[in-house]
């Protein structure tokens, strides 16, 4: 039976956060963002292993003392997300038909229920799939002066999230042929002529990219903690 493995690429600097510290190590309710991200996967019985992929020059991870039997640390991060994931795939010892879930290090709002939903929806699919949200807002394309050049139709458009879930063999092939250019794994699969499945995600599963995103993630997780405490008290 195919197993589920997780790769979390965390070799980037997160420059859009405008902080010296890589964003995965920024504090969220007193803990680094990456620890919240890891929690959901490490606590899921269906996940066989989790691989956190860091830069060879990462000087921050050791300070957090995070250990778990499922967790392996790989210091083989590349110049791009795609290269980082491919480097990890090249050292994994898993079955070619096993599933690999790639998840953003700075996306701490994934819930156990949403993870289970993705696994259930995709494990029987021939191609694989990803969490995503149908776009609700009107889209504007800007010109060089940052004025509206045109309105883009939003019908059929989705905002990709993670995890993105594909068989080990096909994901490795897709990223090998991509040359490190795709911004997510689904794009690499698309280049092979495949059509990954879109699984409806949730807004709470946001990626922390800008400073205001961190405040929103803190509010969401604080509400989760409060709700869990209330249920425990009953």
Using one digit for the tens of pLDDT, what is the confidence trace for 55-74?
999 999 999 989 999 999 99
Domain ranges of the chain: 4-129+159-233
pLDDT of amino acid 234: 79
Q: How many other CB atoms are found less than 10 A from the CB of residue 19? A: 14
> Using alpha carbons only, what angle is made at residue 195 by residues 141 and 109, rounded to the nearest 5 degrees?
70
Q: Which segment of 45-49, 153-157, 180-184 scores lowest on mean pLDDT? A: 180-184
d(CA 134, CA 29): 30
Q: What are the φ/ψ torsions at residue 78 (nearest 5 degrees)?
A: -105, -175
Q: How confident is the model at residue 14 (pLDDT cuts 50, 70, 90)?
A: low
Q: How many other CB atoms are found less than 10 A from the CB of residue 70? A: 16
Q: Average pLDDT of 96-107?
A: 98
Class of domain 4-129+159-233: alpha beta
Q: What are the φ/ψ torsions at residue 5 (nearest 5 degrees)?
A: -125, 150
**Residue from 66, 3, 8, 6 nearest 32 by CA:** 66
pLDDT of amino acid 18: 55
pLDDT of amino acid 16: 59
pLDDT of amino acid 98: 98
Q: Mean pLDDT across the chain, nearest whole number?
A: 94
Segment 184-193, tens digit of pLDDT: 999 999 999 9
Residue 141 has pLDDT above 60, yes or no: yes
Segment 157-216, tens digit of pLDDT: 999 999 999 999 999 999 999 976 899 999 999 999 999 999 999 999 999 999 999 999
Q: Are 123 and 99 in contact (CB under 8 A)?
A: yes
Residue 118 has pLDDT above 60, yes or no: yes
The residue among 20 and 229 whose pLDDT is bigger is: 229
Q: Average pLDDT of 85-89?
A: 97
Residue 233 has pLDDT above 90, yes or no: no
pLDDT of amino acid 20: 75
CA trace torsion 216, 205, 228, 62 (10° rounding)? -80
Cis peptide leading into residue 163 (ω within 30°) = yes
The tokens describing 145, both together, are 């002066």
End-to-end Cα, the chain, rounded Å: 39
> Using alpha carbons only, what angle is made at residue 37 by residues 31 and 38, rounded to the nearest 5 degrees?
95
């Amino acid at each position: 039976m195919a197993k589920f493995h997780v790769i979390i690429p965390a070799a980037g600097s997160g420059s859009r956060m405008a902080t010296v510290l890589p964003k995965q190590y920024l504090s969220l309710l007193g803990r680094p963002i990456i620890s919240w991200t890891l929690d959901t996967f490490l606590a899921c019985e269906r996940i066989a292993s989790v691989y956190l992929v860091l830069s060879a020059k990462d000087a921050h991870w050791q300070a957090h003392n995070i250990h778990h039997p499922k967790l392996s640390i790989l210091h083989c991060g590349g110049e791009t997300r795609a290269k980082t994931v491919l480097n990890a795939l090249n050292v994994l010892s898993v079955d070619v038909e096993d599933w690999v879930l790639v998840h953003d290090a700075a996306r701490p709002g994934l819930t156990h229920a949403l993870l289970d939903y993705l696994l259930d929806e995709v494990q029987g699919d021939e191609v694989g799939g990803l969490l995503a949200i149908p776009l609700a807002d009107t889209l504007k394309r800007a010109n060089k002066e940052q004025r509206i050049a045109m309105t883009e139709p939003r019908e059929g458009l989705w905002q990709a999230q993670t995890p993105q879930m594909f068989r080990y063999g096909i994901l490795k092939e897709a990223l090998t042929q991509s040359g490190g250019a795709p911004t997510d794994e689904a794009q690499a699969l698309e280049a092979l002529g495949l059509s990954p499945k879109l699984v409806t995600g949730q807004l709470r599963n946001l990626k922390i990219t800008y400073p205001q995103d961190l405040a929103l993630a803190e509010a969401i997780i604080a509400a989760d903690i409060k709700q869990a405490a209330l249920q425990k008290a009953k």
